[in-house]
A = this chain, B = another copy of it.
Amino acid sequence: MFKDATRSQINKTLTAAHAAFADYKQTTPQQRAAFLRTIATEMEALGDDLIHTAMSETNLPYPRLIGERGRTTGQLRLFADLITEGSWCEAYIDTAQPDRQPLAKPDLRKMLVPIGTVVVFGASNFPFAYSTAGGDTASALAAGCPVVIKAHPAHAATSAMVATAVAKAIKKHKMPKATFQHVFGASQKVGKDLVQHPLTAAVGFTGSFAGGKALFDIANKRPVPIPVFAEMGSVNPVVLLPEIMSQNPDGLAKALAASATLGMGQFCTKPGLIFTQNTEGGKKFAQTLGESMAAVDPQKMLHVGIASAFEQKSTVATCQNGVTLLGKSPKAAETGVGLPQVAVVSGAEFLKNSTLHQEVFGPYALVIQCDSKPQLLEIITHLEGQLTASVFGNDSELVDNQDIIKALENITGRLIFNGVPTGVEVAGAMQHGGPFPASTDGRFGAVGPSAIKRFARPVSFQNCPESLLPDALKTANPLGIWRIVDGVFQK
């Protein structure tokens, strides 16, 4: 039904996008905001047809998809608000000092401008929020960049439906037709051709480490390298300090079991590693966690490929030296279904075996029982970059364990106190992106308004005549945005 795009089709697509860029970048923020809002309403207008299509392709349940569509339309409106408000473009004005000695100071004005066509790869685990009209697309369109989306092959029909909503919004707002284009591609060749095309300016990707790293490498080998914003794997370490553990082992176990199996563990923020100490509380916690995970009703995973990868990876993980299963759903294995499970290992074994540090995508977690605080610190120092890290502790023991907290901060994009990592708030203060390999570039994030910064670059205008300045930089500040003028924040 959905044919892979050929290289010649990809060339046509990127050429059309580049032509569209010339006009689209000249649209006003208000025009782009209205366009984004219409995408949201057109997506809503697809109604339950869209939800049922996504259900059949992804096995995700109705309420989850209703919620995810709400998040997606919310994101589109958030970026509409952001560019209407306008301060995101980081306008700086340094006025001229013609009489300065020994040299006159020129008039300099700087702002962010869109970088060009962005290629977005749909994510298997977010058929709406990180696919066709998801966060990457919304932030790129908001910045003024055309988007070429490669539909995720596991939900190509869903993607095609969402694309019709965007096409309607383009027509309604008389945007260039190639402002948004949709291509299919089940083979890796399509992705490679898209990233290698000379008119591609940046890439947004959410998915596996193997996939994201491959695109990153291709992009860096181009004659003109381009940024790839790949949000990849994360094991999201959770540290449970002894005092809180001794007080509430069951409550903590239940909260973490729920987080690790939410959406069948198919979130990039699933808590994959749980660090405890070898105490009475720790043992009680492990027991309850095993029971709670085993009691979770197994569900179909996003698609059979993901389910079989989960089966294979969880088997490898639980077969490692010193690893003991704490609990596993007793249900019979069934094609496409993931069986929730949790295992335990000692800190010493964990340190020796890097296989145990790797993400198992799905309803799986590993408890690491540490002998001592120095061992825990050593382990944290050896962990790779993470999207999130969590620490649970009473007020006083958090204060007493700032070395552990600092070590966690060094490896993560988001540090959570007394909370689970799942549930990513879409907010200005959210950082969703961490040091490599959590992301290819931990200086940027994929969630919330700051995601727009990925697709823009600064340009300075020196001694530019007032009439030729972009509105954001005009002396009278017609957009009424926050700017730094001669070093002072003002509106």
Which B residues are CB-close (under 8 A) to A109? 429
Closest residue to A463 on the B side, CB-wise? Answer: B417
- Asked whether A280 is an interface residue with its Cβ less than 8 Å from the other chain, the reply is no
- What residues on B are CB-neighbors of A415 within 8 Å? 459-462, 464
- Output the nearest chain B residue to A461 by Cβ-Cβ distance: B415
**Complex CA–CA separation, A355 to B443 (angstroms):** 36
* A412 and B450 contact, CB distance less than 8 A: no
Q: Which residues 211-261 of A have a CB within 8 angstroms of B?
A: 216-217, 220, 224-225, 227
Q: Judge whether B458 and A413 touch: CB under 8 Å.
A: yes
Per the bound structure, the CA–CA distance linking A415 and B106 in Å amounts to 12
A405 interfacial contact with B, CB 8 Å: yes
- Check if B459 sits within 8 Å of A429, measured CB to CB: no
**Interface 9-residue window, one of A153-161, A308-316, A330-338, A420-428:** A420-428
Indicate if the CB atoms of B417 and A462 lie closer than 8 Å: yes
Copies in the complex: 2
B465 adjacent to A417 (CB under 8 Å): yes
Could you say which of A106, A413, A419, A462 has the most chain B C-beta atoms within 10 Å of its C-beta? A462
A435 CB within 8 Å of chain B:
yes
Q: Which of A407-453 contact B (CB under 8 A)?
A: 409, 412-419, 423, 425, 427-431, 433, 435-437, 440-443, 445, 450
Assess A429 versus B468: contact at CB under 8 Å? Given A225-B436, A443-B456. no
Contact A416 B463 (CB under 8 A): yes
Q: Is residue A467 within 8 Å, beta carbon to beta carbon, of the partner chain?
A: yes
User: Nearest chain B CB to A195's CB is how many angstroms away?
Assistant: 14
Q: Which of B92, B399, B412, B441 contacts A429 (CB 8 A)?
A: B92
Shortest C-beta distance, A185 to chain B (Å), equals: 24
Contacts of A409 in B (CB 8 A): 113, 459
Which residue of B103, B110, B430 contacts A460 across the interface (Cβ within 8 Å)?
B430
* A91 → B minimal CB distance (Å): 9
Given A417-B462, A462-B414, A463-B416; A436-B224 close (CB under 8 Å): yes
A10 at the interface (CB under 8 A from B): no
| Min C-beta distance of A113 to chain B, whole Å | 7
A417 touches B110 (CB 8 A): no
Q: Say whether A99 faces chain B, with CB atoms less than 8 Å apart.
A: no
User: Nearest-CB distance from A387 to chain B (Å)?
Assistant: 10
Q: Which residues of A contact B (CB under 8 A)?
A: 22, 87, 92-94, 103, 105-106, 108-110, 113, 115, 216-217, 220, 224-225, 227, 384-385, 395, 398-399, 402, 405-406, 409, 412-419, 423, 425, 427-431, 433, 435-437, 440-443, 445, 450, 456-465, 467-468, 482, 484, 487, 489, 491
9 of the cross-chain contacts (CB-CB < 8 Å) are: A217-B220, A224-B385, A224-B435, A399-B465, A413-B460, A414-B459, A417-B462, A429-B460, A443-B458
